[in-house]
Structures are given as C-alpha cells and as structure tokens.
Amino acid sequence: MSYVICEYEKVKQQFPEFKTTMVDLATALRAKCAADWSPKTFGGLAPTSGQFGETTILPALFRDMTQVTATTGFMPTWEQWLTATGHQTIMQGSSGAGGIIPEDYKVGLAGIAFLDKAIRISEIKMQISDKKLPRINIEEALAYNKPAIIFEDGYILDEETGFDLYAYVTTRGPQRIKLIGLQMNRVPNRLQVTNTGATL
C-alpha cells in the first residue's frame, strides 16, 4: 500500500499524480458497475432510465464510532464526536451490524482527509471485506493544515461488503473525517427524490 500525506487544499498542486489516480479509479469502478449491474450503463451525474449514476461519496453510506445514528443507520455529515481514546472503530459501512456498504452502492476510495486544525488521531488502518490493510502513522500530518492521506492506488468498496476504518484516538472531541473519491448508485432515484441529508 503506497500513499502520500499532504494538505487537503493542496492535493492537486503537491500531488499531480492524484488526477491519474482518480481517473484510473473511476474507470475501474465504472467497469465493475457496468459488469455487475448489466444491462445498466453509465449515466454520469444525470442518469436516465436504464443507467447508473455517479456522485461524490456521501456520508449517509457510513456509520460513525458513537453508533448514535444506529437507529437511522447513517451519518448525516462527515463530522463526528470522538467519545473515547485508544484503539477503536471510527467509521464503518452503515448497513447491518457488520459495517456493510449498502446494496446498490459502490465506492471508489482515493484517500482520507481530516478537515480540522486539531487532529485527534495518531494512527489509522482499514479493513475492506476480508482484506486488512497495514497501519498508517499520521503523526507527521499534525504539522499540516487539514491533512489528507492520498492512496497511489485507490480501493473499491463493493456493495454488501464490509468496510471498517480503525484509529488510535489521542483526545476526545469533534473530528471531521472525509472520504475522498467517488460513488456509483445503481438506483439514482434514491438520491434524486430524497431530501439532502436524508437516509439512503
């Protein structure tokens, strides 16, 4: 697993390969969706009947560490409240008890950004389905304003598979943790007819 740490607002200037990463990730994700959701075809941001759509990654596909949203099963925003210190799960898929990405959605994950000046986490690691990825120490990121971890090769979070983001939390308090990438939606009407911030 290769990655770089840089300031979120300067990703494009300091990491020009990010564009290539995103293009490759989007191409792979669209191909997977076309194969898995055949005969649907890619419809971009404005899909029509018989097409699947694309959006930014929505927090509604995930659940935070507090599980306060367990009754609704989703995060309305990337901001959460870290209520305890030490090693713990800070984000996971919102479907079911196993941290599953909901059916009809696939996510292309290119990186993770911390959108606060105060970073309350010193280390992270991820598990995607049964694949456990190595730990990433982000203490050097404390020197950055809004640090981001950008993967040189993106990851696909498939529908109905597990996703867990673990962290070592050093202090309690608010933390905005944003997943960078794109999302594909098999049933676009679920996004188009619902209110902003509503459950998917």
Rounded Cα distance, 46 and 62, in Å: 24
pLDDT in tens, 86-102: 999 999 998 877 789 99
Structure tokens at 72: 């609704």
Neighbour tally for 26: CB within 10 Å:
18
pLDDT of 162 higher than 60: yes
Check residue 171 and give left, alpha or beta (phi > 0: left; psi -120 to 50: alpha).
beta
pLDDT of res. 15 = 65
Is pTM beyond 0.85? Reply is yes
Model pLDDT for residues 68-91, shown as the tens digit of each residue? 554 556 788 899 999 999 999 999
DSSP secondary structure letter of residue 171: S
Signed CA dihedral, 42, 198, 108, 140: sign only:
positive
136 closest CA partner among 147, 117, 145, 149:
149
The SS3 assignment for 55 reads: strand
Q: Please tell me the predicted confidence (pLDDT) of residue 110.
A: 94
Residue 118's contacts (CB-CB under 8 Å, 6 or more residues apart) are 171, 173
More confident residue, 67 or 55: 55
What is the Cα–Cα distance from 147 to 83, expressed in whole angstroms? 22
Question: Domain extents for the chain?
Answer: 3-192
**35 pLDDT tier (thresholds 50, 70, 90):** very high
Q: Which helix (H) or strand (E) holds 93?
A: strand 86-93
Work out the average pLDDT over 162-169: 96
Mean pLDDT, residues 122-135:
94
Q: C-alpha dihedral over 9, 13, 19, 22, to 10 degrees?
A: -30
Burial class (CB in 10 A: 0-12, 13-18, 19+), 130: exposed
Residue where the block lists tokens 């990433």? 136
CB 127: neighbour CB atoms within 10 A? Answer: 16
Reduced to 3 states (helix: H, G, I; strand: E, B; else coil), residue 188 is coil
Separation CA 37–CA 146 (nearest Å): 37
